[in-house]
Amino acid sequence: MIKKILNILGATALLFAVSCREDGADLEKGAAGGNDLIINSDANALSKRIDYKNSGILTLNDGLGRKNDVAGDFPLVLVAELAAPSYEGKTLRATHVAVEGNFAYVSYNTEGDAYLGAIEVIDISNPNVPQMVMQAIMPNTDISSVRYDQGQLYIAGATNVDATNAKTAALVGRMSLNGGMLSDNFVTTSLPGKVGTDVTSTASKYYAVSGATGALTQINKADNNIEFTVPVQDLRAVGSTGNKIVILSGTNGVKVYDANGLNPVSSFAAYTDIAESKRTLDFMGERLLVSQGKNGVGVYNLATGAKIQTLALPDTVNGVDPEDIVTNAVSVNADKAFVANGGAGLFVYENKAEQLDLLGSIDLLGSSNYVMSKGDYIFVATGTGGLKIIKYVAPDNGTVNCTSYADYNGGEWLNVNSGEIREFKGTKSLKGINVNNILSWCGALTATESVNVNSNATFNMYGKLYQGSQQNRWNGLNINSGSLFNLEGDLTTYGNMTLNSNGSLKVKGNVTIFGDLTLNNGAKIEFVGTRSVITIHGKVTKNGTSTITGTYTDTNNKL
């Protein structure tokens, strides 16, 4: 058996090679490396691997494992954790994620000498409760990377040549999707080298890179024929931007090619990394961001190759072995960059005046090995610890005009005292909220601890509010005697919700309660309009007489 590895070569430099025309592709149709796909579409059984026990508000710290004590500007929620799949006693690990519309596609391989991979489909149409809807196990084939493009999945990986009779271990594949779902319409192409490490695509071509004695390979989408190959050692990643194909080699740095014919454009030494580890690259305008192991993230001018900035690793993080602090992956989403820094966790940067400034980091209780962000979602693979599904709480003011409201510049606890009327707009991450008179907020909020609307007070929330955690349900949302919580938008509490005597909840939107709902005597819930939805995962307790009025959908039939 050929042992799969990402890199077995030394530091010998290989300059731009002459592109070689390939007259015919090595196609193995219908399966991965000659093996049947084992497809499972039992969504109920698959979704049992989704765990919500740690779901709740995430708090950014200062990058050294210390908590900040100010209100944050980037509210995040851990939606769920996805345990790694297993097959015939072997546990797989997540390697890559692609997102398109309501679906996320997760690829897996197996650590060590065994060849075993999978692709899974997660339905993220419900932002609070993702569902696993399909799985394809690939015996004898590892999957390193996956990319969605126009109803197709492009897949890079490695196959066991002894078991499948493939000509080489490295492969790239193309799977046609049916309504976003996996299919057995899967064609693979053998590549030079030991393992296909990454794949990207343009309008008419797709491009794969393979490790060890590998190459950059250009393939025609129309007929899956190889058109060009450029031999390059130890390739880790490939990306496309404009009319350029950019590759990352562990021994040769960054090389840039023209997408039509793979003619060399430029080359620069980004870093040297002989570790057998996954690395990624991404683009922010004209800047190239490269994960560089112990050298953090290198930010380069793509046109000139000049280094603009280094997103350095911290020297120490509380409770983390320095050997476990390493930059494994980087992902760009609009003006944010997300960096998987191994045992140091997930680091978040924001683009300001053409420089990336650290917003903070998150400890995800496991080594952050890979990150991908698209839309409001951030996916972090933590090896055998599975996949973390994180959501940014995006602002939404509904139909309310908030232009006269002030920006919030206060502390991590928002307190409205008796006699005060406070109106704020914006997107903030808080520790908690206490309302003793009238508070109105337009935008988005998270509160790590309790939200209390105290006696005879009013809290008008126009937008999105996420509160609490599954681990601390007693820190919930309390609507106390004679008070009103008026919601136009979305409310999600991971704790318990209590409406005390004559407390009122007025809803025009969606309410999700992961904890329990208690309605004490005289409590009122009023649904406004015709489209409101309430989803309660815990139990409902009614003490005395309470009233529920209006038109609404009770997802779990708890009311």
Q: What is the DSSP string of 100-136?
A: ETTEEEEEEE-SSS--EEEEEEEE-SSTTS-EEEEEE
Nearest to 404 by CA among 424, 380, 432: 424
pLDDT band at 25 (very low <50, low <70, confident <90, very high): very low
Distance between CA 364 and CA 367 in Å, rounded? Answer: 8
The token pair that represents 306 in the structure block: 């000049």
Contacts of 500 (CB under 8 A, 6+ apart): 478, 479, 480, 481, 520, 523
pLDDT at 20 over 50: no
pLDDT at 27: 35
SS3 47: helix
Confidence of residue 395 (pLDDT cuts 50, 70, 90): confident
Residue 32: pLDDT band (50, 70, 90) is very low
Return all residues near 77 (Cβ < 8 A) that are at least 6 apart: 55, 56, 57, 58, 390, 391, 393, 446, 466, 492
How many residues comprise the chain?
A: 559
Burial call 494-512: b when 16+ CB within 10 Å, e when fewer: bbbbbbbebbbbbbbbbbb
Report the chain's mean pLDDT, rounded to a whole number. 90
List, for residues 140-190, the tens digit of each pLDDT value: 999 999 999 999 999 999 999 998 889 999 999 999 999 999 999 999 999
User: What pLDDT score does 28 carry?
Assistant: 38
pTM: 0.92
Per-residue pLDDT at 71 exceeds 90: no
Burial 430-467 (b: 16+ CB within 10 A, else e): bbbbbbbbbbbbbbbbbbbbbbbbbeebbbbbbbbbbb
Residue 277's pLDDT is 75
Which residues fall within 8 angstroms of residue 61, CB to CB, at 6 or more apart? Answer: 67, 68, 360, 361, 362, 363
Determine the Cα–Cα distance for residues 495 and 491; give it in Å rounded to an integer: 12
Inter-residue contact 361 to 347 (CB < 8 Å):
yes
Distance CA 244, CA 301 (A): 14
Predicted local distance difference test score (pLDDT) of residue 418 = 97
Q: How far apart are the C-alpha atoms of 184 and 530, rounded to whole Å?
A: 42
Query: Is beta strand 504-513 parallel, antiparallel or unpaired with respect to 524-527?
Result: parallel
Q: What is the mean pLDDT of residues 401-420?
A: 95
Measured CA to CA, the distance from residue 432 to residue 274 in angstroms comes to 47
Confidence at residue 109, expressed as pLDDT on a 0 to 100 scale? 94
Q: Cα(536)–Cα(66) distance, rounded to whole angstroms? A: 34
Tokens of 80: 């769920």
What is the rounded CA–CA span in Å between residue 118 and residue 85?
8
Is the pLDDT confidence value at 26 over 70?
no
Higher pLDDT, 417 or 397: 417
Confidence of residue 274 (pLDDT cuts 50, 70, 90): low
Phi first, then psi, for residue 191 (nearest 5°) are -120, 160
Neighbours of 407 (CB within 10 A): 9
Dihedral angle, C-alpha 311, 276, 121, 169, nearest 10 °: 140
Give Cα 103 distance to the centre of its chain.
12
- pLDDT-derived band at 396 (thresholds 50, 70, 90) equals confident
